[in-house]
């Protein structure tokens, strides 16, 4: 049997939808309806509806997954979240979704976003979905989607275009604005979203720009939960535990955190008042963002590039290598923690917890998946920490080894001479650097540092940074990734 309203009673789940789910109306539109949102914000919002009530059903918008839309429709918009730790798996069924639309269904998507009942438009569109320059935070006006949307604001294609189009309609019709709430891994993500929205609006309509600037707030958030891409094995495992087939299930870890800046222009769900722990509403998200981006995301990307090149398919298998485990903890303690300034958090406990999370064998989080879109991730995951360290005399040797592994990875050829399926919006430019430099690693480093969408001019011109990066890349080519990590660790024993 397939998961559906008719078969709910047959489901072996800890928590199931209740009458509140049936009565609730739409209050949120979410752009970028993927696995992470389903295991995080949609799950927490579901807890609000079940435990407190309110009209907070979610309309999900996806740019690419037709199968996801079809499968959710077939399941009456129900799906399950499997919380796994090694061999244990607990199942919850989520009923907070009203429907899922393709972004190409423009009129329907905008219809919801224009509706006064919608109080929040949230986003998990990944870093590249902001169509901005990661090094500067400015909107990329040369981006094809942005160029299209400026000329066709009633039929947008980008997330930024959808937001401004709906804001424009509300402004023109005297409708109270919604709160745009980004949940993507960007430093001060609310400020990033505000900047690109305002830049787009100013180019489109000065009056609209002034209205948005005056009337709309963009809260920052920090989201934390490891959610790998769902595999066929995951679907089979959930079906065995649930007793029903669920083609859109997600598998995640027990850990969950959500820190939200208290800046809303309209009503919002009381996420922090549910039984789901670790949801905080605060006046300052930045320290939490920096902690997560640098410690978790920074070491995740480190394991992605160095682990992939070492032949490790997942994070769990990478961290099982004692040298990698020591190297990752060294990075956390010696090169990343000095850049953090956060009160009320036991960083040693947080780092212990991170290692334990990485070791969770229930999560098959592929290094290749984490390695995607490096040009969009590198600035906030590595470069912010490196800038701090250069100014404050902290070592950058380990982070430069991770950064050099990214450069080696995007060459498109692994250490065995086999092709790497590089996924990155700047894939052609990265390949061109390698083609022009050939085997001259000095030229390779110069070519990468000339990428202004990744490296700003000041950092690219820092000779200490350049020398460390050059040395790390030479070691990778001379010894390979696995041996380079082992040698790094051995030198510090």
pLDDT tens, residue by residue, 235-252 = 999 999 999 999 999 999
Residue 101 has pLDDT above 90, yes or no: yes
Rounded average pLDDT over 295-301: 97
CA-to-CA distance for 461 and 40, rounded, in angstroms?
40
Q: How confident is the model at residue 199 (pLDDT cuts 50, 70, 90)?
A: very high
Place of tokens 């809260």: 219
Asked if residue 78 lies in contact with residue 94, where contact means CB atoms within 8 angstroms, the answer is yes
Q: How confident is the model at residue 66 (pLDDT cuts 50, 70, 90)?
A: confident
Residue 135 has pLDDT above 90, yes or no: no
Residue 355 has pLDDT above 90, yes or no: yes
**Percent of the residues in the chain that have a pLDDT greater than 90, as a whole number:** 95
Euclidean distance between the first and final Cα of the chain, in Å? 56
Token pair of 20 as six digits = 């509140």
pLDDT of residue 277: 79
pLDDT of residue 368: 97
Residue 493 has pLDDT above 90, yes or no: no
Domains of the chain: 5-282 (3.40.50.720), 286-490 (1.10.1040.10)
Residue 53 has pLDDT above 90, yes or no: yes
pLDDT of residue 232: 94
Residue 415 has pLDDT above 90, yes or no: yes
**Percent of the residues in the chain that have a pLDDT greater than 70, as a whole number:** 100
pLDDT of residue 65: 80
Rounded average pLDDT over 261-270: 97
Residue 87 has pLDDT above 90, yes or no: no
Q: How confident is the model at residue 344 (pLDDT cuts 50, 70, 90)?
A: confident
pLDDT of residue 2: 96
For 152-160, the CB contacts below 8 A with 24+ separation are 153/204, 154/110, 155/106, 156/106, 156/110, 157/103, 158/129, 158/131, 159/31, 159/32, 159/123, 159/125, 159/129, 159/130, 160/130, 160/131, 160/196, 160/197, 160/200
pLDDT of residue 443: 97
**196 versus 342: which is more confidently predicted?**
196
Q: What are the φ and ψ backbone dihedral angles of 232, each rounded to 5 degrees?
A: -60, -35
* Mean confidence (pLDDT) of the chain: 96
Rounded average pLDDT over 110-117: 98
Residue 117 has pLDDT above 90, yes or no: yes
């Amino acid at each position: 049997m397939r998961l559906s309203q008719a078969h709910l009673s047959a489901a072996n789940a800890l928590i199931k939808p209740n009458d509140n789910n049936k009565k609730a109306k739409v209050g949120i539109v979410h752009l970028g309806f993927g696995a992470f949102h389903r295991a995080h914000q949609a799950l927490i919002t579901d807890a609000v509806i079940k435990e407190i009530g309110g009209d907070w059903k979610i309309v999900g918008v996806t740019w690419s997954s037709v199968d996801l839309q079809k499968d959710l429709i077939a399941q009456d918009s129900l799906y399950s979240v499997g919380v796994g730790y090694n061999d244990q798996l607990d199942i919850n069924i989520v009923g907070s979704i009203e429907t899922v639309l393709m972004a190409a269904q423009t009129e329907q998507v905008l219809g919801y976003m224009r509706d006064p009942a919608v109080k929040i438009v949230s986003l998990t569109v990944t870093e590249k979905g902001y169509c901005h320059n990661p090094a500067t935070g400015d909107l990329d006006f040369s981006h094809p989607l942005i160029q299209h949307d400026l000329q066709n604001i009633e039929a947008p294609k980008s997330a930024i275009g959808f937001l401004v189009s709906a804001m424009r309609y509300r402004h023109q019709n005297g409708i109270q604005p919604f709160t745009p709430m980004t949940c993507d891994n960007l430093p001060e993500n609310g400020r990033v979203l505000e900047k690109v929205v305002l830049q787009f609006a100013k180019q489109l309509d000065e009056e609209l720009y002034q209205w948005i600037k005056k009337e709309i707030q963009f809260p920052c958030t920090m989201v934390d939960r490891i959610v790998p891409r769902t595999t066929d094995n995951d679907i089979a495992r959930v079906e065995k535990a649930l007793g029903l087939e669920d083609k859109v299930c997600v598998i995640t870890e027990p850990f969950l955190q959500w820190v939200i800046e208290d800046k809303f222009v309209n009503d919002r769900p009381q996420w922090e008042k549910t039984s789901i722990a670790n949801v905080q509403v605060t006046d300052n998200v930045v320290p939490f963002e920096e902690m997560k981006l640098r410690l978790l995301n920074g070491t995740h990307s480190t394991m992605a590039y160095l682990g992939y090149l070492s032949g490790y398919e997942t994070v769990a298998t990478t961290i099982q290598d004692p040298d990698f485990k020591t190297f990752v903890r060294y990075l956390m303690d010696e090169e990343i923690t000095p850049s953090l300034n956060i009160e009320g958090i036991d960083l040693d406990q947080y780092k212990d917890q991170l290692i334990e999370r990485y070791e969770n064998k229930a999560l098959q989080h592929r290094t290749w998946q984490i390695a995607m879109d490096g040009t969009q991730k590198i600035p906030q995951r590595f470069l912010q920490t490196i800038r701090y360290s250069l100014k404050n005399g902290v070592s950058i040797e380990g982070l430069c080894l991770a950064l050099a592994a990214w450069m080696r990875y995007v060459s498109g050829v692994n250490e065995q001479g086999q092709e790497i399926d590089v996924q990155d919006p700047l894939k052609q430019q990265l390949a061109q650097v390698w083609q022009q430099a050939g085997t001259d690693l000095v030229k390779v480093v110069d070519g990468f540092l000339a990428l202004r969408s990744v490296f700003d001019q000041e950092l690219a011109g820092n000779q200490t940074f350049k020398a460390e990066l050059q040395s790390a890349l030479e070691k990778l080519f001379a010894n390979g990734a696995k041996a380079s990590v082992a040698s790094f660790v051995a030198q510090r024993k």
